Structure 1
């Protein structure tokens, strides 16, 4: 059977082990049921395959050269651009290369229900929502004698690890609260801050980067996920929490509200460590509140199935290919 060839461009390949790579790998696997899909970090007329019927590119700024080259070589072939958090909530407002990518794309994929609102009004008709997915993990029996927070994400400014660390230090007098933190430090200053937090708060543990399976295993044993990001396109770790029966305490940003819903009760203001600390105390001490968050998360979990993601992505591709 001759399958239609597609190219999926992602600036992050397997060695990056980040969200872009995980998304690209998952989409390639889904699309290979009906298409011949190649994963590439870059595309150029000189080095690219000229039978590609369609390009999907992740990241408007970082894939800008590939987007421009593909449309220059094949102006009549469709191009889908998937927008990350840095695209939607930073680069698209100020970076000319990102803006050109948006203009060239035939469809713009956003990863949360509010994502299209961050686009210029004249481009919103191109936007389609594809909610990311993951498999279900059954939660283990979580201990009742203490509460274990978990933050997952590389230590960098966008993820705002400092707010989590400040909240942990503020709660050092609570002997039944534990704070785990998974992620590589992308700058020595972030590593130093994590080490300082461990010195100030003995129940804060920076675990460094862990394999994906080990991270998901820890999510099944934690009490609550803390997601403090300053910007997100649609955090996969939040989806993994929902699919693992793990409640979430999240910064009130569009990328989180677009996943968890406007009426979700577990938000705190961006960068507000005192508000996060108060929310953690309430979660630990108020069983009705913890139960409410768990129920709200469980009610949304079925929106993030692999079947739903594959269907949404496949619909966009098939519409453009006619």
Structure 2
């Protein structure tokens, strides 16, 4: 017999509550029903999930491993139900969206007209910045983050990956020549970030096999500023595909180093704190972004 969602929910509730009695109260059940459900789950799995003592419940090694899967399954079901609810209902109210300035300009803003037509009752409030903001402090409902996530208190929904490329304008290359090996970058004007330093790691390897870390000739905190400098022919830059898709397609920026360029892709996630009263607005907006990007990926020029 297969495990049911109710059995998973009871197991997680018992672990979270710390006792059978507290879990039964949380679930609106009698203690005996909660105990029977947990015993039935252990019988199906043919293993002991919790050791019962007179004072407390303790997870077994098998129970700890199963707990992670149980939480993931229940979270997936919750997300699916929220998504279906968002499709049935007509979301309304204010939705505060936060993203780095380049992502806001090149990805979010072009999607707003279609979103407004589809969900006219949602009032968008768009915030852009050059760094990571605190969602609670800024009263942000959903933020888009590029790169690995560090805040484990956030719920994240992956929406894609964006490749890093080294680029320059045809005008710059005509004046200064086309570098064909990473070592030749030393003779060029390099456009990079003043912080964090990790953004100056370029998808190339030096003669020793290490990832190339550049010292910028011209530095900025803004990726959009660096893009504009590259378009003006000031120097060579390394930017994410979501910023340069149209430039590459129109030939305004040219990728360099060909096969010598490493395939480094930054994860892009929508992140938010779970809040039932806002979930329909968050879900419909993130769904719209995911669907739109699916029709035209970041790396498509």
Q: What band does the TM-score fall into relative to the shorter chain?
A: 0.3 to 0.5
Task: Work out which structure has the larger RCO, using CA pairs closer than 8 Å and 6 or more positions apart in sequence.
Answer: 2
Asked which structure has the greater CA Rg, the reply is 2
**Greater fraction strand:** 2
TM-score, normalising length: structure 2 = 0.34
TM-score (norm 1): 0.33
